[in-house]
Structure 1
Amino acid sequence: MRRPACFISTGSVLIDLPLHVSHVPPSGGAVTATSTGPAVGGGFTVVSAVARQGLPAALAATLGTGPNSALVRAAMMHDGVELLVEELVGDIGTCTTLIEAGGRRTFITTEGVEAEPQKEDLDRLELQEGDWVYATGYDLVHPTSSAVLLSWLLDLPEGVGLVIDLGPVEPDLPDEVLMPLLGRTTLLTGNHLEMTRLVARLGSPSALRAACPRALIVRRTGVHGCELWPVGSERIEVPGFAREVVDTTGAGDTHTGVLVSGLMDGLDVVAAARRANAAAGEAVARIGPARSPRRDEIDALIARQGSPAP
């Protein structure tokens, strides 16, 4: 019997240590912070967002045997996320985030076993048509994970969607990595600044479209919502939902997870993006790393707010 389609994230999972500060101090300076405590973050946010829509979601990123990884497993059990790869001896790293008033973030990351994907684990995955695989620029620029992930992603079976979020590290990706990856991508997503930089690197919007011939291109524009560029179509603005911004950590991943969930549900791209905009709007209004609203919560958000903000 054919199993349901599944969303599979290869994004490295870290433990987030959020610190809310009035400002980032200069070198040698000091500032007092408040914290909501450690939370499971990194590549978990996007796969959690899918699971919270009631769809099959799984993690193909390496965990370890230490206490940080134990926190991840507890979060996976809570949200119904399956682990598809073997653990390694050791533990995953952390990401200390300095969050200023207005939501601007500064990251300090430590490294662990999440940077060591195992090719044999990925090769054992039984992918099928309708599955979606997610990968990030962070893992594709890392010296120990890039080669393993890139070769596997480029060999994904036809009919398996590939979601790529290059993030702020896109300038560090060499052309020999970036261009083949864009050619295989099914959904390319990034925030306004990231997508602007990518267009500038390639030379023009038409060059971006030529590099991504099969991809739905998504430019996330914060409180304004997002811009969609489907294959063979003009660009479409999908308005956001006005909310007070408290913490933007993980909001992009929440948007991506809910958007792909809508596509997996058979929604058209605009309807899926509207749900993603609502989920991201709710995520930024909450203190702490983003946890996506569940399906019924998004339904209620859309019904309560009616038309999105202009």
Structure 2
Amino acid sequence: MKKFQVVGIGNAMVDVLARAEDAFLADAGVQKGIMQLIDMDRAVDLYARVGPAKEVSGGSAANTIAGIAHLGGQTAYVGKVKDDQLGAIFAHDLRAQGATYETSLAPKTEEAETGRCIVIVTPDGERSMNTYLGVTEFLTADDIDDAQMADAEWIYLEGYRFDGPESHAAFAKAIAACKGAGGRVSLTLSDPFCIERHRNAFRDMVRDHVDLLFCNRAEMLSMYETEDFVAALGKSAENVPIVACTDSENGVYILSGGQRWHVPAVPTEIVDATGAGDLFAGAFLWGLTHGHALEMCGKMGNVAAAEVISHIGARPESDLKALFAAQGLL
């Protein structure tokens, strides 16, 4: 038996969550509903503009790993932070969830700082993310522990992490170590604009190495450069053993072995859409590593996503297992 059910690799960030009207986005030059990369000066300016905010450790794959740990799964995370205040917050929060976090810290002398994502939530629950990567951009193959990857049933790779000078080498090392020891690889596409920057690399990885692909409708269409959603799903299923594609209030489409399932979304009031896909993936992977059928994994993912969008922040505030039981999933 392996030590870890899932090991995640991604951008280690601290999320700065603030509410604002749509007019604020226009005034501040923020594009609604997507992730934009920003530099340190822009991060300082936006932070000053947003007013009261909530600071919590985040990052897409870290949220997924925290969700699995919340459910009692054995998890670990790899992502770079600096030996500074925000870096300490990130490490403490993740370990407090029960996840293993051992990535070496960037030294205090490093010019770049711990990454942060300023998430502006509008009244409709949509989130507009402004990301300063900081030191997390410089994750390298040296940060990947072969033994840890080999001791994982699954690794979970964050598409956002493709932005970085040595990220592809780090992913390649993790994949080789995991698959060499009989493990499997999952990938989340993260964002349509991320796909546009790295489409060929994504396609090669998906075709050659990925066993489980997570994405949403917009990412799927971007990946296969089409407006035909059904056709895009079909293409992905030709390349990947398992595909889980979320479609907002329409639920999730799961494809595997020539079969297709549609799992309706769980109705809920959207307060903050941040982390919906992250927690969907976490619950899905938890279900998968605990022997549940794919359709059931999709149901669990939808319950977790509904919970996290019902409040501010990308970490669960309710007992997910209790919610699964209430829905008859356990």
Q: Same fold (TM over 0.5)?
A: yes
In the alignment, the residues of structure 2 paired with residue 56 and residue 270 of structure 1 have an alpha-carbon distance, to the nearest angstrom, of: 22
Q: Which residue of 2 aligns with 1:97?
A: 119
In the alignment, the residues of structure 2 paired with residue 116 and residue 226 of structure 1 have an alpha-carbon distance, to the nearest angstrom, of: 33
Q: How many residue pairs end up in the alignment?
A: 298
Query: Displacement of 1:123 after TM fit?
Result: 4.2
Q: Match for 1:137: what amino acid?
A: G
Instruction: Check 1:145–1:249 CA distance in 2 against 1; reply closer, same or farther (3 A cut).
Output: farther
Among 257, 269, 282, the residue aligned to 1:244 = 269
Per-residue deviation, residues 33-66 of structure 1 (Å, max 9, x unmatched):
5645111111321110010110101111122211
Conserved 8 A contact 2:15-2:119: yes
Q: Which residue of 2 aligns with 1:52?
A: 70
In the alignment, the residues of structure 2 paired with residue 264 and residue 153 of structure 1 have an alpha-carbon distance, to the nearest angstrom, of: 19
Among 257, 263, 279, the residue aligned to 2:288 = 263
Among 21, 41, 56, the residue aligned to 2:58 = 41
- What TM-score, normalized to structure 1? 0.87
Going by fraction, where is helix more abundant, 1 or 2?
2
Query: Displacement of 1:165 after TM fit?
Result: 0.9
Conserved 8 A contact 1:139-1:145: no
In the alignment, the residues of structure 1 paired with residue 69 and residue 58 of structure 2 have an alpha-carbon distance, to the nearest angstrom, of: 15
In the alignment, the residues of structure 2 paired with residue 217 and residue 28 of structure 1 have an alpha-carbon distance, to the nearest angstrom, of: 37
Conserved 8 A contact 1:48-1:292: no
Conserved 8 A contact 1:5-1:128: no
Identity, in percent, stands at 18
Instruction: Report SS of the residue matched to 1:243.
Output: coil
Moved more, 17-26 or 285-294: 285-294
Q: Match for 2:55: what amino acid?
A: P
- What TM-score, normalized to structure 2? 0.82
Query: Displacement of 1:246 after TM fit?
Result: 0.7
Instruction: Report SS of the residue matched to 2:206.
Output: helix
User: Equivalent residues in 2 for 1:1-310 (5 A)?
Assistant: 2-23=1-22, 24-27=24-27, 35-42=52-59, 43-90=61-108, 91-128=113-150, 131-140=153-162, 142-155=163-176, 156-158=178-180, 159-168=182-191, 169-175=194-200, 177-183=201-207, 184-200=209-225, 204-205=231-232, 206-212=234-240, 215-230=241-256, 232-291=257-316, 293-303=318-328
Query: Displacement of 1:163 after TM fit?
Result: 1.3
Residue ranges of structure 1 left out of the alignment (5+ in a row): none
Instruction: Check 1:209–1:5 CA distance in 2 against 1; reply closer, same or farther (3 A cut).
Output: same
In the alignment, the residues of structure 1 paired with residue 71 and residue 57 of structure 2 have an alpha-carbon distance, to the nearest angstrom, of: 18
Instruction: Report SS of the residue matched to 2:252.
Output: strand
Q: Match for 1:151: what amino acid?
A: A
Conserved 8 A contact 2:280-2:302: yes
Moved more, 98-107 or 268-277: 98-107
In the alignment, the residues of structure 2 paired with residue 63 and residue 28 of structure 1 have an alpha-carbon distance, to the nearest angstrom, of: 27
Query: Displacement of 1:80 after TM fit?
Result: 0.7
Q: Match for 1:26: what amino acid?
A: A
Query: Displacement of 1:178 after TM fit?
Result: 1.9
Per-residue deviation, residues 129-149 of structure 1 (Å, max 9, x unmatched):
761111122111x13243323
Moved more, 67-76 or 201-210: 201-210
Conserved 8 A contact 1:278-1:301: no
Query: Displacement of 1:253 after TM fit?
Result: 0.3
In the alignment, the residues of structure 2 paired with residue 292 and residue 113 of structure 1 have an alpha-carbon distance, to the nearest angstrom, of: 29
Moved more, 143-152 or 69-78: 143-152
Q: Match for 1:55: what amino acid?
A: G
Q: Match for 2:157: what amino acid?
A: A
Q: Match for 1:161: what amino acid?
A: R
Q: Match for 1:196: what amino acid?
A: L
Query: Displacement of 1:182 after TM fit?
Result: 0.3
Residue ranges of structure 2 left out of the alignment (5+ in a row): 30-45
In the alignment, the residues of structure 1 paired with residue 296 and residue 247 of structure 2 have an alpha-carbon distance, to the nearest angstrom, of: 17
In the alignment, the residues of structure 1 paired with residue 95 and residue 85 of structure 2 have an alpha-carbon distance, to the nearest angstrom, of: 15
Query: Displacement of 1:245 after TM fit?
Result: 0.6
Cα RMSD (Å)? 2.6
In the alignment, the residues of structure 2 paired with residue 130 and residue 8 of structure 1 have an alpha-carbon distance, to the nearest angstrom, of: 6
In the alignment, the residues of structure 1 paired with residue 320 and residue 326 of structure 2 have an alpha-carbon distance, to the nearest angstrom, of: 10
Query: Displacement of 1:124 after TM fit?
Result: 3.5
In the alignment, the residues of structure 2 paired with residue 194 and residue 274 of structure 1 have an alpha-carbon distance, to the nearest angstrom, of: 21
In the alignment, the residues of structure 1 paired with residue 254 and residue 155 of structure 2 have an alpha-carbon distance, to the nearest angstrom, of: 20
Q: Match for 2:255: what amino acid?
A: W
Per-residue deviation, residues 240-295 of structure 1 (Å, max 9, x unmatched):
21100110001110000110000000101111111111111111111233436444
